[in-house]
Amino acid sequence: MAAGPPSTVAVFGSSQTQPSEPDYVAAIRCGRLLAESGFQVATGGYAGTMEAVSRGAATAGGTVIAATAPDLFPGRSGANEWAHIEWPQPTLSRRIGQLLDISVASIALPGSIGTLTELIVAWNGSFIETLSQRPPRPVIAVGEQWANLIAHIAAEVDSVVELVTRVDSVDDAVAAVIAQTR
């Protein structure tokens, strides 16, 4: 029997991270580890850690999907050079939705308000899946910045903190995706 298409993992992160920064290097490793583990990678397609994850996956022979938002970011000229497929979306919510719709799991790398938004939408999607009697898709948050924030949000809005797996490294994130999807 022939194998099906590879599963896709959405990876969220900062567009401001520079190649000289440790988070950029870690994001390259994240993309590479995902591709080496047989996953396609989907990102927002622009610079920073999105570019780094794309670069890591592409150089490891993986497929990279970029969900861009040209109307929202008219100063950005298409997806980064490492993307194989670009799916332009008309709004930020459609962009995030597209990434989550095609993914079996999501990873949030360190980032700012945009990454937080993506993490919250992924978390909410997993919560809704549990209400619908479906297994929740894994949501992995990398880095200490998310630890207190996730616990605080879960307590304040009475959500299920266990739906987000908080890890310290991209190695741990990819291991968690593998453990929770296979």
Total number of domains in the chain: 1
Residues 6 or more apart in contact with residue 172 via CB below 8 angstroms: 142
Helix (H, G, I), strand (E, B) or coil at 67: coil
Within-domain flag for 3: no
Alpha-helix runs per DSSP H in 5-63 = 22-36, 49-59
Q: What local confidence, expressed as pLDDT, does residue 5 receive?
A: 63
Examine the pLDDT at 3 and tell me if it is beyond 70.
Answer: no
Owning domain of residue 35:
8-181
Within-domain flag for 2: no
CATH number at residue 111: 3.40.50.450
Tens digit of pLDDT for each residue in 28-87?
999 999 999 999 999 999 999 999 999 999 999 999 999 999 888 887 778 999 999 999
Within-domain flag for 55: yes
How many other CB atoms sit within 10 Å of the CB of residue 167? 18
Gyration radius from the chain CA atoms: 15
Tens digit of pLDDT for each residue in 121-146?
999 999 999 999 999 999 999 999 99
